[in-house]
Chains A and B, each alone.
Chain A
Amino acid sequence: NAGVTQTPKFQVLKTGQSMTLQCAQDMNHNSMYWYRQDPGMGLRLIYYSASEGTTDKGEVPNGYNVSRLNKREFSLRLESAAPSQTSVYFCASREEGWISPLHFGNGTRLTVT
C-alpha cells in the first residue's frame, strides 16, 4: 500500500536548470496538490488539481508549472530554477468526501545553488 509516492527524494540544481518533480498516488483520489515548505512559513499551496485534466493556481504558483497526466500522476515542473525555490516540496491527495484529510508523500528536498 504505497499511498503517495514522490521522486526524487533529494535534488540539487544550478540556477537556470530545469527539472520535474514526480508524484503518483494509488488510492484512486481525484484531488491532488503541490505544496512547498519553508522554515517559519508552514506549507504553502503551489498548484492543485481537482480532477484529471484540470489544474488551478494556489498561493505561490510563480515559477512553476504542473501537469495532471492522468488520475494517478501530478507532476511539478521548474522551468528555470532560482535559489528562492530551494525548499521541501510535498505532494498530497485526498479522497472525495465532505471532510477528508490530505494524504502526503514523503517530500522532495530541493536545493538550488
Chain B
Amino acid sequence: AQKITQTQPGMFVQEKEAVTLDCTYDTSDQSYGLFWYKQPSSGEMIFLIYQGSYDEQNATEGRYSLNFQKARKSANLVISASQLGDSAMYFCAMREGVGSGTYKYIFGTGTRLKVLA
C-alpha cells in the first residue's frame, strides 16, 4: 500500500536560514505526484508545491523547492531564507491512482516548523 512518512514531528530554524523538511514515500505506481501543504495556526491548508514522478527537474516556487530523489523515494521540502511567517505545520502528500482516472491523496503526519527570531 502507498505510504507517506514524515519522521520529523518538530523542527526549529533560525530566521533567514534554510531548512529541509523530510518526506519519504512508498508506491508501486510508475506515475504519481507529490505535494506539500502548509497549515498555519489559523488552520487552513495552503498548497505550496508539487512534483510529478516523470519530472526530471526539481520543482521550485519562490522560496520553496522540492528535492526529489526518485531512487531513494524521497521528496524533501526546502525553504530558503526562512521567515517568521513560515512557522506552521507542513504536510507531504502523494496522489494515488485508483483506476479510471480517479485519484486519492494520502498524507503524512506532518512536521511542525518553528522559525526563531
Binds B, one of A17-25, A42-50, A61-69, A74-82: A42-50
Question: Judging by beta carbons under 8 Å apart, are B52 and A33 in contact?
Answer: no
Binds A, one of B12-20, B62-70, B73-81, B103-111: B103-111
Consensus secondary structure, chain A interface: strand
Known: A99-B33, A99-B52, A99-B95. A94 touches B110 (CB 8 A): no
- Contact partner of A104 (CB less than 8 A), chosen from B33, B45, B98, B102, is B45
Interface size bracket, A side: 20 to 34
Which residue of chain B is the closest to A94 with respect to CB atoms? Answer: B103
A49-74 Cβ-contact flags toward B at 8 Å (1 or 0): 01000001011000000000000000
Question: Judging by beta carbons under 8 Å apart, are B109 and A40 in contact?
Answer: yes
- Find the residue from B6, B50, B100, B110 having the highest chain A CB count within 10 A: B110
- Contact partner of B104 (CB less than 8 A), chosen from A58, A88, A90, A107, is A58
- Interface residues in B79-117 (C-beta closer than 8 Å to A): 91, 93, 95, 98, 100-110
- A15 and B104 CA atoms in complex are apart in Å by 30
B20-43 Cβ-contact flags toward A at 8 Å (1 or 0): 000000000001010101000001
Q: How far is the CB of A113 from chain B (nearest CB, A)?
A: 21
